[in-house]
């Protein structure tokens, strides 16, 4: 309990400074007054009514130390933001020995209950910038003008994959299997940082391996993925 509480205290504090260049799927949101950099991972974002579950990355240029003496250069946190209530709920916090969530996992903390991880969004804080980005009020002109929403990105990737669109319109069996395989991939940690295009291509590969009878588009189209090798089986506990 003390370990989790100490980690939560550090999570809510303003860190010192940072510079980084994570993968393009980590969307830069803002920097704190001392140049710490905050990112949100859009591909793994899940919307349920007015709540968003997402991963956040914070990078520090100077080494940090939490209340129990663990040192780290970056953190990743799984959080839920309730937009109407302006609250943030921390579900998991992971400390890394290097920036960009890389290197060794130095420590991790998980609140025992939702109430333990809940906090109000403070006006004018970094947390409010993240809140606006996640709930739809973009914090910069660049984000609002050039970055499509998660739903738009998914739709665009789907439309680029002609097997997926063909199955949805013409092959109910293959489409149902595609939905099942996509659900498996979305819940697989190995696919969290993959692009939507890569995920849908893997869905096609899996469906064609499971259902050789699945129909194909009538003409040769972009997005075709040839099946090679044995089907990767979903991990089982």
Please report the domains of the chain, with CATH numbers, ordered by start residue.
Answer: 2-144 (2.40.128.710), 148-237 (no CATH)
pLDDT at 140: 37
Task: Take residue 43 and report the two structure tokens written for it.
Answer: 């591909």
Q: What angle do CA 167, 173, 178 make, to 5 degrees?
A: 60
What phi and psi values does residue 187 have, to the nearest 5 degrees?
A: -100, 5
pLDDT at 13: 37
pLDDT at 4: 42
pLDDT at 189: 83
Give me the residues of the chain with pLDDT under 70, please: 1-21, 33-34, 137-148, 218-237
pLDDT at 212: 92
pLDDT at 218: 65
* Tens of pLDDT, residues 103-149: 899 898 888 888 888 999 988 888 888 999 888 854 333 344 455 67
Query: Residue 174 contacts by C-beta under 8 Å, 6 or more apart in sequence?
Result: 167, 207, 211, 214, 215
pLDDT at 21: 62
Cα 173 to Cα 175: distance, rounded to the nearest angstrom: 5
């Amino acid at each position: 309990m003390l370990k989790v509480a100490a980690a939560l205290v550090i999570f809510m504090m303003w860190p010192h400074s940072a510079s980084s260049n994570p993968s393009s799927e980590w969307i830069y949101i803002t920097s704190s007054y001392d140049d710490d950099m905050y990112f949100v991972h859009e591909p793994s974002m899940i919307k349920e009514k007015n709540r968003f579950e997402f991963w956040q990355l914070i990078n520090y240029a100077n080494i940090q130390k939490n209340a129990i003496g663990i040192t780290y250069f970056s953190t990743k946190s799984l959080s839920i933001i309730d937009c109407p209530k302006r609250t943030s709920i921390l579900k998991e916090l992971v400390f890394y020995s290097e920036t960009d969530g890389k290197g060794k996992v130095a420590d991790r903390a998980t609140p025992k209950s939702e109430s333990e991880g809940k906090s109000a969004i403070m006006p004018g804080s970094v947390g409010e910038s993240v809140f606006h980005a996640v709930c739809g009020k973009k914090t910069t002109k660049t984000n609002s003008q050039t970055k499509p929403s998660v739903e738009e990105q998914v739709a665009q990737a789907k439309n680029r994959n002609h097997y997926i669109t063909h199955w949805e319109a013409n092959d109910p069996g293959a489409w149902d299997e595609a939905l099942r395989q996509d659900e498996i991939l979305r819940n697989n940690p190995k696919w969290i940082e993959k692009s939507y295009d890569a995920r849908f291509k893997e869905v096609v590969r899996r469906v064609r391996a499971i259902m050789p009878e699945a129909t194909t588009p009538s003409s040769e189209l972009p997005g075709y993925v040839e099946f090679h090798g044995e089907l990767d089986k979903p991990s089982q506990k």
